[in-house]
Chain A
């Protein structure tokens, strides 16, 4: 049974090179989490504060919120990269995090080798990747370029390659952080198709994005993050409406 269960979880980042003197009082801006100092005078950023969340199999959860509201940190908490500073986060299932299409890519090795390495990073085995490589190669339309080192690729070509690998895996828990751009429109349409297939295969999806269109296509429920806490969660449209209403109110005056 694939599920994520987060209880009273907080994530505090110690910032060792910040001066704590100048931050005697807690600063609260529009974006970002709280900045405070802990008992040992180390400046900490409270990126997430008392998060309670349960995501179960079949859920398609959208994450919305300002820059720095804690969306990416929450995804990293859910993936197990950050273990909570207090509280707990229990993750049942194999996690495939797609936060940055470029990470784990090596510019000096060929596209084909990068497909293998990137797949290994996503928890696939060498055998599984060898079985998928033709499919990925076809999807990327890179042809002979796959034998060239990655540094010769344009940005769009890299995104094609990365998307090809990422959308070929069979994740139990799929965590997506946006950053899908820089590809031509025709390719994006094909990628969307594959992305949708991928999401359908996944047991559980959490997707952080600023694109309401993409969120509507892939998600059913939503969670609105603000200042490192959960502001609201519920059905997708309800949360999107509330979030956008707030945005309009803010920009209107």
Chain B
């Protein structure tokens, strides 16, 4: 009876194919594809997150929808009065802007805590780190879907001139998801190492809300010669292009190819950066949490 299966030498040569200590791009890609393979897990967890937040409340996840409606209507009324704009113009603008913004800001600010918040799971279960990010983006997508109900109701009261080409909102949302993934991964990894980043991220996101035309309208400022020059600076805000990309088709406005190119460009550059960081630091996340 052999009980000496555990020996130090000699060790048979096994080709490294299952889990080599990898600081190469292959291991970064493997993390992403394995995470995708475990979607049964994160799809379930994402749902659980939402139901948990509203467990034992009578309306449950409908609160997502209701609070979005209340916020958007209140801001719409307030700012249409302040800027002297028509409610029928500003309210849809604010509402869709808020829906898109909620998704974007959720990916960024929750991304900064995505690994720290899951430290228990990370140090107890071997899993690709990407599953936590998939779960986050899926949860944000579910929030987005709940908020679309408000959008649908809005279309009843304020019909928009929608055309077939406005179906481009779907690939636009796809681009939003693709970008949300890299942002959450990148910020998540860096802020696991540098714990000062999450509060910084929260403040920056809050600031960006005001720098992005959500409660105010870019076109209106451009029409005003006194501030038009300065208003153009908003083009430097990448989030402006993300919001425009999906808000314009949702409101039946003309779309510009330029916006698509910018957002696709950001996705390419962002993923390249993220893969570089993942290659170097993906395996360190378990040590840092």
Which chain A residues have a beta carbon within 8 Å of chain B's beta carbons? 3, 5, 7, 13-14, 16, 52-56, 58-59, 61, 76, 79-85, 87-93, 95, 97, 99-100, 103-104, 106, 108-109, 113, 116-117, 120-122, 125-126, 220-221, 223, 230, 233-236
Residue of B nearest to A44 (CB): B287
B122–A104 CB distance below 8 A = no
* A55 close to B5 (CB less than 8 A): yes
B161 to chain A, nearest CB (A): 44
- Residues in A whose Cβ lies below 8 Å from that of B124: 81, 97, 99-100, 103-104
Interface SS, B side = loop
Q: Which of A91, A120, A121 contacts B19 (CB 8 A)?
A: A91
**In whole angstroms, how far apart are the Cα atoms of A223 and B8 in the complex?**
11
12 further interface pairs, Cβ-Cβ under 8 Å (given A120-B44, A221-B6):
A81-B122, A81-B125, A82-B286, A82-B287, A83-B19, A91-B18, A92-B18, A95-B126, A109-B48, A109-B51, A116-B44, A125-B40
The 6 closest A-B pairs by CB, nearest first: A83-B283, A59-B5, A103-B124, A80-B126, A120-B41, A235-B3
Any A CB within 8 A of the CB of B11: yes
Chain B, residue nearest A47 (CB): B287
- Cα of A223 to Cα of B286 in the assembled complex, Å: 25
Contacts of B9 in A (CB 8 A): 52
Which residues does chain A contribute within 8 Å of B225, judged by CB atoms? none
Question: In the complex, which residues 1-52 of chain B have their Cβ closer than 8 Å to any Cβ of chain A?
Answer: 1, 3-9, 11-12, 14, 16, 18-22, 38, 40-41, 44-45, 48, 51-52
Contact flag A81-B5 (CB < 8 Å), given A88-B16, A90-B16: no
Question: Contact at B283–A234, with CB atoms within 8 Å?
Answer: no
B163 on the interface (CB 8 Å rule)?
no
Q: Mark B117-129, 1 if CB is under 8 A from A, else 0.
A: 0001111111100
Measured CA separation A7–B1 after assembly (Å): 26
Q: Which residues of B contact A93 (CB under 8 A)?
A: 18
Are B3 and A221 closer than 8 Å at their CB atoms?
A: yes
CA A13 – CA B48 in complex, angstroms? Answer: 33
Of the residues B6, B14, B283, B288, contact of A53 by C-beta under 8 Å: B6
Within 8 Å by CB of A90, from B7, B19, B122, B125, lies: B19
Distance A236 CA – B1 CA, assembled complex (angstroms): 13
B232 at the A interface (CB under 8 A): no
Q: How far is B38's CA from A133's CA once the two chains are assembled, in angstroms?
A: 20
Query: Could you say which residues of chain B place their CB within 8 Å of the CB of A122?
Result: 125
Give chain B residues whose Cβ lies under 8 Å from the Cβ of A92.
Answer: 14, 18
Contacts of A3 in B (CB 8 A): 14
Q: Is the CB of B19 within 8 A of A109?
A: no
- Offer 14 A-B interface pairs, CB within 8 angstroms, sorted by A: A54-B8, A81-B122, A88-B20, A90-B19, A90-B20, A91-B18, A92-B18, A100-B124, A108-B52, A109-B48, A109-B52, A113-B48, A117-B45, A236-B3
